[in-house]
Amino acid sequence: MGFCAVVFVGVRLLLSLVAVVAVGTVHPPSTATSGAETSATTGWHNFVDGTERWDAGWFERIARDGYEPDDESGAFFPGYPLAIRATTAITPLGELSAGLMISNLAFLGGLIAVFALTSYEFGKGMARRTTLLLASFPASFFFLAPYSESLFLLTSALCFWWARHRVWERAAVAGLVAALTRSVGVLLVPALLVEAWAEVPAKRTRAITWSLVPLLGPAMYSAYWLIRTGDALQPFHAQDSWHRTFVFPLVTLGNALWLGISGIADPRGIYWTADLLLTTVILIPLALRWRLLKRAYLVYVVASLLVILSYPLPERPLLSAPRFLIVLFPAFWPLASICTRKRLVPLLAIALVGFAAMAIAFMNWGFVF
């Protein structure tokens, strides 16, 4: 816990100091559509609220006013907005402050859970490297922003922790919260079923039953929309506003590679190149050392990757992919296994520079989602 606390404080201070120094006066672009956007302005307030950008407005608005059937709010699953609403109900905090408190505490808890799980599977040396790499990854500033990533990281890590220790009721509850927080949380179910099948025969049926509980998350959310609008698929129809289309994953990677290379010489293509670099940093070690992952983790990571890569935005195939990848903590284990002590220090230095650069772009309303 002490090691994770030091890592957390380090990246939190880095993000806050960068925000104070680097955030300028920038108005939200027309593509920011939640209706709760605020202009970026200079000042010490950025030490705390510099990350209130893009989807943060959606989460705050949903927590305050609820869902609207005629906009894209249904695409945002209710776990994180409900946590914000509950916090504002029992504390004097507003939506932004509540969201930041939840995200930061959940990130600290997520680091501790990932450290514990990694230590259980591989030892403390691997746990330290994984924690450092996860916290310093260039897209990991999203964990400290009013976004749902940190809550999902915490609940998914706890789900695996309890499943590996055969505490199925707690694993089911953690998986349910994860599935209510992000739609991909339902992909914990096949991973849990793999673990449940490895249970002793006398307990296998019970374990399988508990493993199915996270399916209730999207089922309840769909039931809410069915009752309210008559359309149980409203959350998925709301995704249409992001113009993602189904594409074979290898085609997505091929298009991303072409655009990423082209973006080096194109001032407008820096985001293509950044998307490609950050994604390949995770995918290449995973492709080389996938055997390191036990079957349940591998099922979870592969299923999540297939979803991420199968629904790209044609104009920017890896849009948001780095943000989606950071919650897949088992995908950092192959990278951590490659990083010896000599490699770790320069890699962390490069990662933290990228962390600061990506955060600066995000906080100045750059197209980092």
Residue with tokens 């039931």: 223
pLDDT at residue 276 in the model: 96
Distances (CA, A) of 89 to 64, 98, 253: 10, 10, 44
Give which of 293, 273, 307, 272 is closest to 335, Cα–Cα: 293
Number of neighbouring beta carbons within 10 Å of residue 124: 11
CB 275 within 8 A of CB 321: yes
Series of mean pLDDT values for 10-residue runs along the chain (369 residues): 97 98 93 81 95 95 94 94 98 97 98 98 97 98 98 98 98 98 96 96 96 97 95 86 86 94 82 95 97 97 97 92 97 95 92 97 93
pLDDT at residue 111 in the model: 98
CB 93 within 8 A of CB 103: no
Residue with tokens 């010896």: 340
pLDDT at residue 243 in the model: 79
Q: What's the pTM value of the predicted model, to 2 decimals?
A: 0.96
pLDDT at residue 263 in the model: 84
Give which of 65, 13, 80 is closest to 34, Cα–Cα: 65
pLDDT at residue 30 in the model: 83
